[in-house]
Structure 1
């Protein structure tokens, strides 16, 4: 009878996989011996495997290159990194090794852009696509960037007042884009995105505010779907509506030459994950070309804004199972030595799924469990809703510690979780480790941040020195 944890995983999924292997009964992730990481740094901890960022960028660039060649598509492709997914310096430094551009969301993003320029990480030729609702400081920072000669800064207009605000602040000609307010999926609580200009209002908006404004040149139409690029009727229908707007707008606005298909690719959230990236990209490129040919307009340059896809699969979190509580006849709770609310906020806020696997004891018998965090909050758990199906782990043994890992957690979790700030129930943020690959193929680790201390939180709360 197959009752070991390794039997369960092997029978349920194709295992091992490219990034997940077993070495001496221990799980490895991109050849990282995770138990060695625990032995060196302890748990809980978070880590970022930086080479995965470049790997995913290269994958997408190749997919688009192949699709453009296959479709004889006569325009360029530009990969933009959506900085809100992770603003950390080590993330931007790694991403910008790969001939990419960036997309910003708020005023402080532009301060990061200026820092990157000062350090030679980006140049005036780098596209800076400025999304988001723009007021005061954001407008001022964008204006300063353009006034200082960054002509490839393209603010994407989100509402009817922004052109006037930008025109007053910028002392030279500048380029803009317009964001389409896409219609959301039927299951959403609202019908139309709060962001952007409605489909039917795009051309009247152009005629009223842009056409006769000599200072402004419309270059880009921005199309964003909140659920990302997916092979379903909703996405293809919205893309077609966007393309019809693009071709109509192009006929009255010759300067328009770029289409930004924001809304990124999904990332692997299960060992059973399947997604044909190459097919989807070829279909997107093909549909853009076909629609433009039908309407007899040149095809646009394509921009994408990949945030989660860029950085998500580089991240992981490791916890130790501290204790097991048998609460009734059916429910066993494994309590981890951290909090899901603070370290993986998307797991409880939007029931986002992550890959979860044991790090050790793969040859032990398994049991069905629920996972709970340390806080005194009933929402601090991870269960079958987030995990697609029931959670099974090696049986809890008090004298034989069990460690578990959550993988592909690199996007959004630190910023949403309030990295470096207050944490729910004052459960400290864990250590964060950076992992890089050396020229000889070996791996090196570096401590990026220590686990929070009591004095760190007391200082924020105003108790420091009292």
Structure 2
């Protein structure tokens, strides 16, 4: 009988996969023996595999290169990283090895840019695209960056007052973009995004506020939808509306030469995940190219802002199953040695799914379980996986520890969870390690941050 956990995976998915395989009933991720990590660093454990960041950046660059060549597209492509996905320096250091650009969303982001400029990681040639609602400190920091000579800093106008605020602080001619307030999906509680300026108002706004202002040069139209790039009628409808606005604006604004199509590439959240990235890029380039050709306007340079796609698949978390509670005749609760609320906040806040697999015991029989965190909060659980709204794991044994891993957790989880700060029920944040390769291609690891200590939390609390 095929009753072992490895049989379940083999029967349900194509396995092994690009990043996952097993040897001696232990899970390997990007050829890294995860049990070795546990033996060296313990658990709970957070980890980031830095080469994956560069890998995904260069995949996207290659996809756009192929599509632009196929359609004889005359514009250029610029890959930008959304810092809000993960602000950690090790992420920016790795990403910036690949000739990319930066998208910011708040005032302190600009301080990160300045820091990276001092180190030579960013130069005046890198585009810094400043998104978000801007007031006071953000405006001041953007102005300071432009006044210092960073002419490729492009603030994206989010509302009618921002242009005047920028003009009051910036002492030289500067470039701007305008963000389109896209319509949201029908299931949303509101019709139009709170960010940006309405489709119908953009051309008139340009003619009224920018066209005759010799200090301001409109360079970019910015488009982004909350649900990201998906092959559905909603996405294509919004994209075509965006292209239509670009064409109308280009006809009255000769300096406009760039279209920012935002981001939102999905990342793998299941062993059954499928997404044809090349097809989507191919179709986007085709639609822009043909529409501009029909309208007899020059095609724009294409900017993207990939955050989760850049960093999401580079990270994971490992927990130990401490104990199993049988609350009734059907439900078995596997209690982990950390908290989902603090370490994977998207799992409970927006019901986000991550790839979850056992690290060991693949040759054991499996059982259906629920996963519970350490806090005393009823929402601290994980209850759905790729196995049709159920979690199956190797059987729990008190004297033989079971370790489980959550993968592709690199975007947003640390900042939303409040890395280095207070944690719910004072459950400490896990140890974090970085994984890289040396010049010979060997795996090297180092501790980025030890697990939080009681003294750190008590200090924040004023004790």
TM-score normalized with structure 1 length = 0.99
Q: Equivalent residue of 1:224, what SS? A: coil
Q: How big is the shift at 1:387?
A: 7.0
2:236 alignment counterpart = 236
1:354 corresponds to 2:361: no
Gaps of 5+ in 2: none
Q: Work out the CA distance in 1 between the residues paired with 2:425 and 2:205.
A: 49
Cα distance in 1 between the residues matched to 2:422 and 2:257: 45
SS class of match (2:261): strand
Confirm whether residue 395 of structure 1 aligns to residue 395 of structure 2.
yes
Give the CA deviation at 1:385: 6.7
Q: Which residue of 1 aligns with 2:145?
A: 145
Query: What is the match of residue 219 of structure 1?
Result: 219
Spell out, residue by residue over 1:438-459, the C-alpha distance to the aligned partner (whole angstroms, 9 max, x if none): 1212100000000000000000
Q: Which moved further from structure 2: 198-207 or 44-53?
A: 198-207
User: Aligned to 1:384, what secondary structure does the other structure show?
Assistant: coil
How far apart, CA to CA, are the structure 1 residues paired with 2:23 and 2:122? 40
Aligned residues of 1:360 and 1:402 also touching (Cα < 8 A): yes
Partner of 1:326: 326
The answer to whether the 8 Å contact 2:356/2:385 transfers is: no
| Equivalence for 2:303 | 303
Mapped partners of 2:386, 2:113: distance in 1: 36
Q: Partner residue of 1:280? A: 280
What is the rounded CA distance, in whole Å, between the counterparts of 1:335 and 1:194 in structure 2? 40
Q: Is the 8 A contact 1:353 1:388 kept in 2?
A: no
Shift of the 355–217 alpha-carbon distance from structure 1 to 2, 3 Å rule, reads same
Q: Which residue does the alignment assign to 1:342?
A: 342
Please tell me whether the aligned partners of residues 367 and 392 of structure 1 are also in contact (alpha carbons under 8 angstroms). Answer: yes
For residues 147 and 386 of structure 1, the distance between their equivalents in structure 2, rounded to whole angstroms, comes to: 51
Matched, 1:69 2:69: yes
CA positional deviation for 1:328: 1.0
Cα shift readout 1:5-38 (whole Å, capped 9, x = no counterpart): 0000111111101100112211010011100000
User: The residue matched to 1:262 in structure 2 has which SS?
Assistant: coil
| TM-fit CA distance, 1:389 | 2.5
Corresponding residue number in structure 1 for 2:42: 42
Residue 181 (structure 1) aligns with: 181
User: What residue is the counterpart of 2:254 in the other structure?
Assistant: 254
Q: Distance in 2 between matches of 1:219 and 1:21?
A: 47
- With 432-441 and 105-114 compared, the bigger mean Cα shift is at 432-441
Asked if the contact 2:353–2:384 (Cα under 8 Å) also holds between the matched residues in 1, the reply is: no
1:100 aligns with 2:96: no
SS of match in other structure, 1:102: strand
Deviates more, 1:382-391 or 1:358-367: 382-391
**Structure-2 change in CA distance of 1:86 and 1:444 (3 Å):** same
Taking the aligned partners of 1:13 and 1:441, their CA distance within structure 2 comes to 30
Instruction: Give the corresponding residue for 2:120.
Output: 120
Cα displacement (A) at 1:212: 1.4
Query: Any conservation in 2 of the 1:433–1:446 contact (CA below 8 Å)?
Result: yes
Cα distance in structure 1, aligned partners of 2:281 and 2:9: 32
Query: In structure 1, what is the Cα distance between the partners aligned to 2:287 and 2:387?
Result: 35
Tell me what 2:266 maps to: 266
Q: Distance in 2 between matches of 1:132 and 1:270?
A: 31
CA distance in 2, matches of 1:437, 1:184: 42
Alignment partner, residue 447 of structure 2? 447
* Secondary structure of 2:223's aligned partner: strand
Pairs within 5 Å for 1:51-62: 51-62=51-62
**Deviation at 1:263?**
2.6
- CA deviations on 1:27-68 (whole Å, 9 max, x unpaired) are 010011100000000000100000000000010000000000
For structure 1, list consecutive stretches of 5 or more residues without a partner in the other structure.
none
Q: Is the 8 A contact 1:58 1:98 kept in 2?
A: yes
What is the CA–CA distance in structure 1 between the aligned matches of 2:388 and 2:126, rounded to whole Å? Answer: 40
Q: Distance in 2 between matches of 1:101 and 1:107?
A: 17
8 Å CA contact 1:351, 1:385 repeated in 2 = no
How many pairs does the alignment contain? 463
Secondary structure at the residue paired with 1:27? strand
Measured in 1, the distance between the counterparts of 2:387 and 2:294 equals 45
Which moved further from structure 2: 48-57 or 206-215?
A: 206-215
